[in-house]
A and B are shown apart, each in its own frame.
Chain A
Amino acid sequence: MKYIEEFQDPALAERLLGEIRAAVTRPWALMEVCGGQTHTIIRHGIDQLLPDEVELIHGPGCPVCVTPLEVIDKALEIASRPGVIFCSFGDMLRVPGTGRDLFQVRGEGGDVRVVYSPLDALRIARQNPGRQVVFFGIGFETTAPPNAMTVYQARRLGIPNFSLLVSHVRVPPAIEAIMRSPKCRVQGFLAAGHVCSVMGTGEYPELSERHRVPIVVTGFEPLDILEGVRRTVLQLERGEHSVENAYPRAVRPEGNPAARAMLDDVFEVTDRAWRGIGVIPDSGWRLSPRYREYDAEHRFQVTGIDTREPAACRSGEVLQGLLKPHECEAFGTVCTPRSPLGATMVSSEGACAAYYLYRRLDLPSAASRPLEGSPVV
């Protein structure tokens, strides 16, 4: 694998930055949709290097941040049941539901395991035929195909003790919702490259046309981000709006047909609540009727859990690009990664956490205090 060093080359970065500076004649607000891109931008200081006219607004593309509290509560309930082995990607363990998180369920004796592939959870189910094994299937179009593969395989191989707790979300309806918001300031989108590597680019021309915004499919390394910004700015300066693929090494126009066929078979489109934003029509996937028996919500009868979130935390405004993390009154004072008020402060892909972890130096007073904690013995 040689795709890291080359895509962080300072000389190439400077060249791209120079082209962006040369092109810009007035202020533009671009949104990078994906939390992975937010993380790269903040970690490498890309936002500091861009000309002042180019503002990056951080989008809602962090799967951890937008998973509704209700779904987390269902996960906590299922993981607490005796005999259950609850498998999850690592970064979901720290997201608090009402009063606790999966780490604490584990501390209370729950069998919660971090896996690196959903198929590991299926293997655990085959190795433990006497136990119920549940995988926490969250994320965007990127993580959906491997999660779909688990129930597809479970049905094919006849593995009855496996089920999936599903809370998948889709990017295009979120872009639609952001553009329809009366307060929307976004003038161009860096679309999430890895989502497009699965889904292709076919869903975007209609969005671009209807809202007259450039949409540039963008990768995740520093040079990818700069190239995405450069192309979006060039379109805006020319008064154009179209869909461009600036990530051709991973994205084909048709995406990954095998993965899309798997998604069509296993999932069906549904309305989905996004944490901090609310319900977005047709923005999620749930298991299709054919696979309903593998739906953990039904199997463990947690469909009745209905957690309502107080609307106090302003993470919704952050997720919609209406508020920069450090513009929130609670940022860095009562709201830190150690004691998050909102989901955007939990995951390292959340805009608030990224600002807190990497940006405290440049921000006003309260936020720039060192993290609580003293030397460790």
Chain B
Amino acid sequence: MSETTEAPDVLAWTCPLPLRDQPRVVMGHGGGGALSAELVRDVFAPAYGGPALSAMNDSATIELGGARLAFSTDSFVVRPLFFPGGSIGHLAVNGTVNDLAMSGARPAYLSCGFILEEGVETEVVRRVAEALGEAARAAGVEVATGDTKVVEAGHGDGVFINTSGIGLVPPGVDLRPQRVVPGDVVIVSGPIGVHGVAVMSVREGLEFGVEIESDCAALAGLVEAMLAVTEDLHVLRDPTRGGLAAALNEIAAAAGTGVVVQERAVPVPAPVANACAVLGLDPMYVANEGKLVAFVPREHADAVLAAMRAHPLGREAAVIGEAVADHPGMVVARTGLGGTRVVDLPLGEQLPRIC
């Protein structure tokens, strides 16, 4: 603002679009973006936040009886219940198992709470339960406790599931975004956006002929293979809601460093790129359910990458960028053409564009 012109008082402007306050919950509050973060910051944390919650990680790391435990919970409200490559049952196990694995823990026990809607077919519940059991066996965890509630018809969506999980964090493992330093190498374990596009492809009105299966998988084994190379990984995230962009933004904000991503190095499979092009979505914001992103000290990056590629769930792992001292808290992409752009935290839900 130059000294010679009088600065307009923008705060006094009557704006045609009123400043947003949300008197009611909107879908975006569950989107894993800025709206979700505000709900936690403004409502939940002041009401019941404590030392463990304040770390704001996907799972809490707590000391109990001399053991270091990772403890996490997640709810699953996906539609449709069954999709190419998985189901709500698979997600309910893998979502929580992966949250534990991202803190370096070996997942051990899960709880499983079902909220069923009156009128849902018991055969559907059976199929969901069998899928959940199959996923738990594959992930090497035991469902140790559970609960069932039924809500009146019209007050649910068939099947909602909540799972909580605990696991042991091995001594010497300390995965936190605060450990990230400039120079850390950013590695993603494989192609992104696969789960989100698989689910979208079977939603009503979106059968656009994409043959793509969800990447839904339990990542504890892959994490173990990475930790076998070095305990000194800095941070891991599974980029679910909000996709890779949300995960990188969360890490950058908590670490106080910047992140630079080489856009052409990010593995985006053709069906995902095409579906996103049709819908006007950005693959960086599309959900994954069997991928992780790792910040690894530069001296260990090659060995960790090799260990990942030797594991079935990391075959297509790729270095996509690095942590930098510039623009702390901000993620910047170097575009394929050589330009740069900011990769922001998604606001709420990703919305398909009109044209």
Within 8 A of B (CB), among A338-368: 338-343, 345-349, 357-362, 368
Distance in angstroms from B151 CB to nearest chain A CB is 17
Q: Establish whether residues A114 and B17, one from each chain, have CB atoms under 8 Å apart when the complex forms.
A: no
Chain A minimum-CB-distance residue to B58:
A377
Q: Establish whether residues B347 and A338, one from each chain, have CB atoms under 8 Å apart when the complex forms.
A: yes
Q: Is B162 an interface residue (CB 8 A)?
A: no
CA distance A180 to B190 in the complex (A): 53
Binds B, one of A76-84, A97-105, A210-218, A246-254: A97-105
With contact pairs A106-B27, A341-B13, A373-B37 given, residues A45 and B329 touching in the complex (Cβ less than 8 Å) = no
CA distance A3 to B234 in the complex (A): 39
Which chain A residues border B206 with CB–CB below 8 Å? 116
Chain A minimum-CB-distance residue to B327:
A361
Among B53, B205, B347, the residue within 8 A (CB) of A337 is B347
Binds B, one of A139-147, A232-240, A289-297: A139-147
Q: Establish whether residues A48 and B339, one from each chain, have CB atoms under 8 Å apart when the complex forms.
A: yes
Q: Establish whether residues A44 and B337, one from each chain, have CB atoms under 8 Å apart when the complex forms.
A: yes
Q: Establish whether residues B13 and A361, one from each chain, have CB atoms under 8 Å apart when the complex forms.
A: no
Q: Establish whether residues B337 and A371, one from each chain, have CB atoms under 8 Å apart when the complex forms.
A: no
Which chain B residues border A99 with CB–CB below 8 Å? 18
Among A13, A64, A329, A377, the residue within 8 A (CB) of B56 is A377
Among B26, B204, B250, the residue within 8 A (CB) of A103 is B26
Chain A minimum-CB-distance residue to B237:
A375
With contact pairs A48-B340, A375-B254 given, residues A91 and B15 touching in the complex (Cβ less than 8 Å) = no
Q: Establish whether residues B329 and A373, one from each chain, have CB atoms under 8 Å apart when the complex forms.
A: no
Interface 1/0s, chain B 307-344, versus A by CB < 8 A? Answer: 00000000000000000000111101001111111101
CA distance A374 to B25 in the complex (A): 19
Q: Is B36 an interface residue (CB 8 A)?
A: yes
Chain B minimum-CB-distance residue to A333:
B10
Q: Establish whether residues A358 and B342, one from each chain, have CB atoms under 8 Å apart when the complex forms.
A: yes
With contact pairs A10-B337, A329-B8 given, residues A373 and B17 touching in the complex (Cβ less than 8 Å) = no
Among B25, B242, B354, the residue within 8 A (CB) of A64 is B354
Among A103, A222, A312, A375, the residue within 8 A (CB) of B14 is A312
Which chain A residues border B273 with CB–CB below 8 Å? 4-5
Which chain A residues border B252 with CB–CB below 8 Å? 370
Q: Establish whether residues B20 and A143, one from each chain, have CB atoms under 8 Å apart when the complex forms.
A: no
Distance in angstroms from A317 CB to nearest chain B CB is 13
CA distance A46 to B25 in the complex (A): 38
With contact pairs A334-B11, A370-B330 given, residues A139 and B40 touching in the complex (Cβ less than 8 Å) = no
Can you sample 28 A-B contacts with CB below 8 Å? A13-B337, A45-B335, A45-B339, A46-B337, A89-B352, A89-B353, A90-B351, A99-B18, A104-B26, A107-B26, A114-B352, A116-B279, A140-B355, A313-B16, A329-B7, A329-B10, A330-B10, A338-B347, A340-B20, A342-B17, A346-B17, A349-B353, A360-B330, A360-B342, A361-B327, A373-B249, A374-B40, A377-B53
The 4 closest A-B pairs by CB, nearest first: A45-B339, A90-B351, A358-B341, A373-B34
Residues of B within 8 A of A (CB): 1, 7-8, 10-11, 13-20, 22-28, 32-34, 36-38, 40-41, 44, 53, 56-58, 177, 204-206, 242, 246, 249-250, 252-254, 264, 273-274, 277, 279-280, 327-330, 332, 335-342, 344-345, 347-348, 351-355
Residues of A within 8 A of B (CB): 1, 4-5, 8, 10, 13-14, 36, 42-49, 63-64, 69, 89-96, 98-99, 103-104, 106-108, 114-117, 120, 138-140, 142-143, 194, 222, 275, 309-310, 312-313, 329-330, 333-335, 337-343, 345-349, 357-362, 368, 370-377
